[in-house]
Amino acid sequence: MTEITEVVRGRGRPRRIEKPPSDAVKLVRDKLELTQQQVATELHCSLSAVRTMERERRVPRTGALLDAFERLARRAEVALNAQAQEEA
C-alpha cells in the first residue's frame, strides 16, 4: 500500500519530508541533460511546476513528487541531503 493509504487507515505515520536544496532541480536537470518538459514527464507534474521549482518559488514537497525527484537525483549522482549528512 502507499504511504498515504497506511496513514489514513491508521497503520502508519507520515514520514518526515525533507525538501531538496532550492537549486537541486536545475542541477539535476543539467547533469542529466534533460529539458524541463522531460523532467516534468519524469516527475509526473506540469511543465509550469518544473519552471517554478527552478525559479526557487517552489520545491517538491509531496511524497510522490519527492520520491520521483529523489530517483532523478540518484541517476544524476546528486546528494540531496548532503547538508544533513555533514551535520550528523
The model's pTM is 0.64
Cβ neighbourhood burial of 36 (10 Å; 0-12, 13-18, 19+) = middle
Residue 88: pLDDT over 70: no
Q: Which of 9-13, 17-21, 75-79, 84-88 has the lowest mean pLDDT?
A: 84-88
Residue-by-residue DSSP string for the chain: --HHHHHHTTS--PPPP-PPPTTHHHHHHHHHT--HHHHHHHHTS-HHHHHHHHTTS----SHHHHHHHHHHHHHHT--TTHHHHHH-
Amino acid code (one letter) for 52: T
Domain boundaries, the chain: 21-82
pLDDT digits (tens, 9 = 90+) for 5-50: 666 677 766 555 455 666 888 899 999 999 999 999 999 999 998 9
* CATH no. for 21-82: 1.10.260.40
